[in-house]
Every structure is written in C-alpha cells, then in structure tokens.
Amino acid sequence: MEQKPLHYDGSLQLDSSLTESVVNEPFQMTDEMRVSIGRNPYSVDTNE
C-alpha cells in the first residue's frame, strides 16, 4: 500500500515535494483580529 489514505486525524504520509511549498512569511496579528478571535460568535453584541 504505497499511498496511504487521508485519515481524520491528519496522519497522511506526504511526499517531500509537497511539503516544500510552505510559505514562511511573518504573521502580524492586529487588534481587530484579536478582538474577532476573542469573542463568542454566538453571543448577541449589545454595542451594535
């Protein structure tokens, strides 16, 4: 079984040629992103 199937836990054996395409750019977290991540999306916001 050369090519293993994709499992739900993500344990797929990838070729080295596929993993070389990862971009290593610095990530900048803004205050707007931080606020969006930090709140509950299902709660009703009274400020709007």
The rounded distance, in Å, linking the Cα atoms of 30 and 27 is: 10
CB 32 within 8 A of CB 24: no
pTM: 0.34
Instruction: Please tell me whether residue 19 adopts helix, strand or coil conformation.
Output: helix
**Tens digits of residue pLDDT in 3-44:** 666 666 666 555 555 555 667 888 888 998 888 887 787 877
Q: What's the pLDDT at 3? A: 66
CA nearest neighbour of 31 among 42, 21, 39: 39
Q: What's the pLDDT at 21? A: 61
Q: What's the pLDDT at 17? A: 54
27: which 2 tokens?
Answer: 């990530």
